[in-house]
Amino acid sequence: MKAPDFDYARPSSLQEALALLAAGEGGAQPLAGGQSLMPMLNFRISTPEMLVDLSGLPELRGLEQTPQGLRIGAMTRYCELEAFPDLAKIQPLVAAALPHIAHDAIRNRGTIGGSVALADPAAEMPAILLALGAVISLDGPNGPRDVAADDYFLGYYETACEPDELITSILLPKIEPGDSFGFHELVQRHGDYAMAGVAIRSSGIAPLAGLRIGFFGVADRALRVTALEDALNGTDGTDIAGALSHLSEIDFQGDTKITAETRAHYAGVALKRALKEMLT
């Protein structure tokens, strides 16, 4: 398959990029690393009239430690995040999850902002942002605005980012002393999209407290189940059978790989394993 016909532009400033998106009236599609968009174009799942390549915008690149946390420019590539000094200390959850995100050749091109903008329901990054309580900074014709990760992922490839807006950066809040993290995903082959996975932040370990659990690869989007978090808060996380009953709130999706029932089971398995790793 070949991509549908499209025009290509590589603006050199954010302002120019936003103007191109606005002029496209919904037909212009931002192009970040292209690692998901290229196959979608070639399968003709996505049929934009114009691609706006964001690789020429230096203001969207780079990583910065701020008093609030780690600010990641939207066009920062996975390999750049991986190589950030002391990442395992600054953001242990991200460091633990990165090697599960595809393979080196993909991480050399794929961007953090691209992943979050696309919001593939089986991608790791959206769930990580939910677990960390990240903030997504957008810019558009009506000016810049911040959206909490909890309010960002709306549905199947659907987010709070409007077609004429761009993600400029993502803030991962600073971790606090006593914070604990867990990550587990079930995949057919290491590096594949998950059949089910979880990213966990807890502000205590015995007992668990202030839990934020991002599920991915389960439904139409990365999501949290607050009733499940509430059921686990204050416990030692070893007997989770009762809490698991709240997984029924998720509208599990089946696909060509596995049924919705199997996926529901896997979500519980991923959660159990992640908690077990956290507690040992």
| Chain residues that interact with other proteins, rule: CB under 8 A | 1-8, 10, 31, 34-35, 38-39, 41-43, 51, 53, 55, 79, 82-83, 88, 99-100, 102-106, 108-109, 189-191
As measured in angstroms, the least distance from the Cβ of 62 to other proteins is: 17
Give the Cβ contact number of residue 26 at 10 Å: 12
Q: Are 214 and 223 in contact (CB under 8 A)?
A: yes
As measured in angstroms, the least distance from the Cβ of 54 to other proteins is: 10
As measured in angstroms, the least distance from the Cβ of 42 to other proteins is: 7
As measured in angstroms, the least distance from the Cβ of 95 to other proteins is: 9
Residue 129's alpha-carbon distances to 142, 193, 237, 279, in angstroms, are 25, 17, 22, 22
Helix (H, G, I), strand (E, B) or coil at 67: coil
Q: Give the C-alpha separation, 179 to 192, whole Å.
A: 28
As measured in angstroms, the least distance from the Cβ of 277 to other proteins is: 15
Q: Are 88 and 193 in contact (CB under 8 A)?
A: no
Closer to other proteins at the Cβ: 87 or 231?
87
Closer to other proteins at the Cβ: 42 or 259?
42
Distance between alpha carbon 76 and the CA centroid of its chain, in Å? 14
List CB contacts of 12: < 8 A, sequence separation 6 or more.
56, 57
Termini Cα distance of the chain: 48
Closer to other proteins at the Cβ: 41 or 170?
41
